[in-house]
Amino acid sequence: MSESKANHTFAFYLGCIAPNRYPGCESAAIKTCKKLGIDLVPLKGASCCPAPGAFGAIDLNVWYAMAARNLVLAEQMKMDIALLCNGCYKSIWEVNHKLKHNKDLRDGVNEVLKEIDMEYKGTCNVYHIAELLYNEKYVGVNKVRDSVVTPMTGARIAVHYGCHLTKPHKDREFEKSIMLNTEHPSWMEELVAAIGATPVEYRNKMQCCGAGGGVRGYDIVHSLDITNEKMINIMEAKADALTNICPFCQLQFDRGQIEIKEKFGISYDLPVLHFCELLGLAQGMSPQELGLDLHAISCEPFLQKVL
């Protein structure tokens, strides 16, 4: 929509976990994007995305209608949506995609939306911030590198991609054209390298964090078991920190480490940072500004190493 302008403006969809549990993610996204020529304008009146596992798995029609309402808010602002969470991406991007391509579904959703005087038209697009950062059309790796004032030199950082941004890959258009591969991608490693850190490969890197699909809510022990397996693999690679692009994954890895300690008696103490937070540090922002003090696992050892 605003592609022709030098600066891009997006309606910023916050989601639930970022503003409630990791406000640092929210402020990091807004501040880092600003430095890269992207204005994030709050999407006022937005509701829950709604969570794909909690809603989509139980009643698809509710899922469609609620996500469509969020989309209509952006349509009314005449803006595309940018968001910072894989779960939100699954709901809002995928519902948008489905409604655009399925007239019957669109008509059904519009019938519901009519009750609140809304109509879904299909005029807006949805992007993940990580996608905007990597895509040269908006930012690109080079521009990210140029924005760095405090390179994360010497930091060994493991990358967690999360599931919903790249899968199912048959639908994901950006993934096909730009990211190329869902089974063993490396574009986030490129971003990590751009801020001066060393991306580390680890065993089974595309494994789920353990939280998604309602598993965390339904069976916490099983969910932590998966997280624990990931943690073992990441620790084997001698990472200083883990970065992600999804606050729900962040919650699972960050708070999950406390839970693992309680339930299994194993402690890892590995700092977990959303990529926007990491980028904020590299762009010279203070840890307080980025809300890093609100993380369950202390980021201090990592900060001492890189700052």
Partner 1 sequence: MMVEKKKTTTKKTETKKQEAKKVAPVKQEVKKQAAAPAPAAQNAVAAPGATTQKDARIGVFICHCGTNIAGSMDIQAVQDYAKTIPHVAYVDNYKYMCSMPGQTLIQKAVKENNLTGVVVAACTPRLHEPTFRTATKDAGLNPFRFEMANIRDQNSWVHMHDREGSTEKAKDAVRIAVAKAALLQDLFPKSVPVEPAAMVVGAGVAGMQASLDLAAAGIKTYLIESDMSIGGRMSQLDKTFPTLDCSQCILTPKMVDVGRSEKIELMTWSEVENVEGYIGNFEVTIKKKARGVMTPKEAAAKGIVGGGCNGCGDCDAVCPVIKPNVFEVGMKPRKAIYINHPQVVPLIYTIDFNACVKCGLCVTACGPEKRAIDLNMQDEFIKVKVGTVILATGYDIFPIENKQEWGYKRYENVITSLEFERLICASGPTGGHLVRPSDGQTPMRVAFVLCAGSRDNTGIGKPYCSRFCCMYSLKHAHQIVEKIPGCVPYIFYMDIRSFGKMYEEFYYRIQNEGAKFIRGRVANILEDPKTKNLHVYADDTLLDRPVDMEVDLVVLAAAIEPKADTNRTRKLFGVSCSQDGWLLEAHPKLNPCGTTTAGVFLAGVCQGPKDIPDTVAQAEGAASAASIPIHMGEVELEPYFAQCIEEKCAGCGMCVNLCPYSALSLVEKNGRTVMQVTEAKCKGCGTCGGFCPGGAIWMQHFATPQIVAQIDAFLLGGEE
Name the nearest CA neighbour of 40 among 77, 67, 71.
Answer: 77
Stretch that binds partner 1, among 120-128, 180-188, 243-251, 273-281 (CB under 8 A): 180-188
Minimum Å distance from CB 20 to partner 1?
A: 34
Among 59, 119, 236, 269, binds partner 1 (CB under 8 A): 236
Q: How far apart are alpha carbons 122 and 130 in whole angstroms?
A: 23
- Is 176 among the residues that bind partner 1 (CB under 8 A)? yes
Q: How many residues does the chain have?
A: 307
Minimum Å distance from CB 200 to partner 1?
A: 12
> How many residues belong to the site for partner 1 (CB under 8 A)?
10
Among 20, 181, 288, 298, binds partner 1 (CB under 8 A): 181
- Is 177 among the residues that bind partner 1 (CB under 8 A)? no
Minimum Å distance from CB 234 to partner 1?
A: 13
Let me know: does 274 contact 25? Beta carbons within 8 Å.
yes
272: Cβ contacts below 8 Å, ≥ 6 apart: 241, 242, 243, 244, 250, 253, 254, 257, 295, 297
Binding to partner 1 (CB under 8 A) within 191-230 occurs at 203-204, 206
Residue number with CB closer to partner 1 (206 or 296): 206
Minimum Å distance from CB 223 to partner 1?
A: 18
Q: How far apart are alpha carbons 303 and 292 in whole angstroms?
A: 10
Q: How far apart are alpha carbons 202 and 88 in whole angstroms?
A: 26
Which tokens is 81 given? 């949506």
Where do contacts with partner 1 occur on this chain (CB under 8 A)? 169-170, 176, 181, 183-184, 203-204, 206, 236
